[in-house]
Amino acid sequence: MNTLNDLFGALGSIATSPILLLVILLGVVLGTVAGLLPGVGPSTSIALLLPVAITLPAELSLPLMVSLYLGAEYGGRISAILLNIPGDPGAIMTTLDGHPMALKGKAATALSISALASFLGSILAFLGLAFLAGPMSQLGLAFGPAVYFSVVVMALVLSATLVGSAPMLGLTAVALGVAMSTIGIELQSGLPRFTFGSSTLLEGIEPIVAIIGVFGIGEILASTTMSKDSRAISSLTGRFFPTGAELKQGTLPGLRGSIIGFIAGVLPGAGATIAAFFSYGLEKRLAPASAGMGKGAVRGLVAPEAANNAAVSGSMVPLLTLGIPGSGTTAVLLAYLMMYGLNPGPGFFEANPVLGWTIIGALLVSAIFGMIINIGASPLLAKILAIPMPFMAPTILMLALISCYSIHNSVTDVYIALAFGALGYVMRLVGMSPALLVIGIVLGEMLERNLQQALGLTGGDFWAMISQPLVLLFLGIAVLALLTALPWKQMVGKRLQGKSKSDADDESVTR
């Protein structure tokens, strides 16, 4: 009952505040534009908007950020359908049936159907978030430093093994991020670490600088080979409103996609990309051959779109209730919340009930605005895609410079971001997710702090620290995830394969 009261209270205050409504609308529009432009995703746009947003009070800037996040998930599908290039990673699976639909002359229909699917996913996941946030927050309050340490370890390992092309490279990215979080003064002893005499490094690496570097600058470096000629935009043909049959075909896949998306969002590391991947995979299994999956099937378009939007609200659950980012974008949001002196996690809703519920309420309002804008303004949004990268890239880099410079009014931060940009480019070359590096940086400090506190409570006895049931459970999950990622699994597999082959040979010889 409390949940409903808080929720309706937040929605009421949003509905009666024109400024808040305007901010959310602005966030959705900016997010949609950022999402549709290949190379600018939600993480980059949130990081680049920092100097603007930080001037606003948290009650306005946080709804702006979450609406931007949701808007980007709406926008990512536009370039996926019209260009066959996903605007954001969550829209990768949308290309599989969305673009073939556009090639069949149904681009406008594909955009409308996917916008409706995104809306469905957003609304259902919003309900999940609203009713799960309270109990999860209560659960988090019972966690001590040792349990928190194990939750962070689990989140890091799950993120590393689920995201990116190779689990071992994912673990490398996370470890690199944790390593970078140790730069600066160590709080317990007050001794500087890895500062090499630099006064700038004494405060450590600002997560926002690293984020602007790996996402903003890194993505531009990776897009230096994109030319205007390489883009073939499908024209906006077909009906804008889907038929009854098309809506019927998309209903169940949309519901399934929303549930999968929400669950994937809640899991640390999974996020929108994996949500879309699993929901598409499920639909492919369930669909009859006549459904034409991969050739412009409605269900193939609806399921991943509902899933990637549902994952946004899902990823807010661990962020707001446990302070654990479930994705790269929520890692950016976590760093952003910390800049306001807010500590998301257990007790966040008790300490900031109005702000917490306003963030959740903003997701619902963003979902409604997102659907209206993405259906109504599709032709206009499609035109933005025609802006060539060579002319867009310098502007993004200018924004990156301002965003970094504004943090301490220092160009040193800009050079640090440039170094991270170069690292982000190298990571992209070999399929390493830059989001993992950011998650490592953001969670690294939390990992060390909780380890220090937990060991302090047990007098330095590590085994006493990990002998708690919840600690064992979370560390057990981490170990299991790690075991599946280890390369010796393949070696053992090969050996077993070789053995079974020789056994089979022996058997055939005996016969």
Sites for another protein among residues 423-482 (CB under 8 A): 423-435, 444, 448, 451-452, 455-456, 458-460, 462
Q: How far is the CB of 100 from another protein (least distance, A)?
A: 18
Residues 270-299 that bind another protein (CB under 8 A): 273-274, 277
- Tell me if 151 sits within 8 A of 269, measured CB to CB: no
Nearer to another protein, 364 or 392 (CB): 392
Options 131-139, 288-296, 361-369, 413-421: segment touching another protein (CB under 8 A)? 413-421
Number of residues that bind another protein (CB under 8 A): 95
312 within 8 A of 122, measured Cβ to Cβ: yes
**Binders of another protein in range 181-220 (CB under 8 A):** 182, 186, 188-189, 191, 193-194, 215, 217-220
Residue pair 330/315 in contact by the 8 Å Cβ criterion: yes
- Within positions 483 to 502, which residues make up the interface with another protein, using CB under 8 A? 486-487
**What φ, ψ does residue 182 adopt, rounded to 5°?**
-85, -5
**Rounded to an integer, what is the distance from CA 347 to the centroid of its chain?**
23
Residue whose entry in the numeric block shows the structure tokens 């991020």: 177
- Judged by CB under 8 A, the residue of 29, 66, 68, 85 near another protein is 85
According to CB under 8 A, which one of 221, 247, 286, 338 is a site residue for another protein? 221
Are the C-beta atoms of residues 482 and 157 closer than 8 Å to each other? yes
Q: Which is nearer to another protein, 80 or 130 (CB)?
A: 80
| Residue 164 vs 323, nearer CB to another protein | 164
Cβ atoms within 10 Å, residue 230: 11
Residue 364: CB minimum distance to another protein, A: 26
Which tokens go with 224? 């230096």
Contacts with another protein, 49-78, as mask; x by CB under 8 A: --xx--x-----------------------
> At its nearest, how many Å lie between another protein and the CB of residue 7?
32
Residue 414 or 481 having the CB closest to another protein: 414
Residue list 21-50, contact with another protein (CB under 8 A): 38-39, 41, 43
Cα 413 from Cα 424, distance rounded (Å): 16
Of 343-382, binders to another protein (CB under 8 A) are none
* Cβ distance to another protein smaller for residue 193 or 499: 193
Torsion of CA 469, 474, 476, 477, to 10 degrees: 150
On whether the CB atoms of residues 211 and 43 are closer than 8 A, the answer is yes
Minimum separation from the CB atom of position 498 to another protein (A): 17
CB of 351 to another protein, least distance (A): 28
Nearest approach in angstroms of CB 416 to another protein is 11
- Write the CB contacts of 103 (distance below 8 Å, at least 6 apart in sequence): 234, 296
Looking only at residues 127 through 166 of this chain, which bind another protein when binding is defined by CB under 8 A? Answer: 163-166
Site string for another protein, 92-121 (x = CB under 8 A): x-----------------------------
Those residues with Cβ within 8 angstroms of residue 80's Cβ, 6 or more apart along the chain or in another chain: 86, 87, 91, 92, 94, 95, 98, 99
Question: Measured from the CB atom, is 129 or 438 closer to another protein?
Answer: 438
| DSSP class of 89 | G
127 vs 455, beta carbon nearer another protein: 455
Interface mask toward another protein for 163-182; x: CB under 8 A = xxxx-xx-xx--xx-xx--x
Amino acid making up residue 251: T
**Cα–Cα distance, 470 to 54 (Å, whole number):** 37
Nearest CB to another protein, comparing residues 294 and 379: 294
- Residue placing its CB nearer to another protein in the complex, 12 or 394: 394
Q: What does the alpha-carbon distance between residue 376 and residue 386 come to, in Å, rounded to a whole number?
A: 19
User: What's the min distance (Å) between Cβ of 407 and another protein?
Assistant: 10
Q: Kindly state the helix (H) or strand (E) to which residue 287 belongs, with its residue range.
A: none
- Quickly list H helices, 341-487: 348-351, 353-376, 378-384, 389-408, 411-429, 434-457, 462-466, 469-485
For another protein, give the closer residue by CB, 4 or 411: 411
For residues 179-212, one letter each, b for 16 or more C-beta atoms within 10 angstroms of the residue's C-beta and e for the rest, the string is: ebbbbbeeeeeeebeebeeeebbeebbbbbbbbb
CB closer to another protein, 29 vs 389:
389
Return the number of other C-beta atoms located less than 10 Å from residue 127's C-beta.
Answer: 14
Residues numbered 224-243 forming contacts with another protein, rule: CB under 8 A: 224-228, 230
